[in-house]
Amino acid sequence: QEADWTIKKGALWWFTNRVREGESQTVLRAVIPSDFA
């Protein structure tokens, strides 16, 4: 389902979670600063 989002200030941070060798890890995939959008 699509959604329209407006970002006024701040940034977009994309995190993913994975399990590797039995340990949970949080991975930062991308950061988009507010002046980039």
Residues 1-37 have pLDDT tens digits of 677 877 667 788 999 999 999 999 999 999 998 787 5
Are 15 and 24 in contact, with CB atoms under 8 Å apart? no
Residue listed under structure tokens 């979670």: 17
The domain ranges of the chain are: 7-37
Confidence (pLDDT) at 25: 96
Q: Under DSSP, is residue 11 helix (H, G, I), strand (E, B) or coil? A: strand
Task: Report the pLDDT value the prediction gives residue 23, as an integer from 0 to 100.
Answer: 96
CB atoms within 10 A of CB 10: 8
CA gap 34, 37 in Å, rounded: 6
| pLDDT value at residue 37 | 56
CB 29 within 8 A of CB 13: no
In this predicted structure, what is the pLDDT of residue 19?
Answer: 95
- Distance between CA 19 and CA 8 in Å, rounded? 34
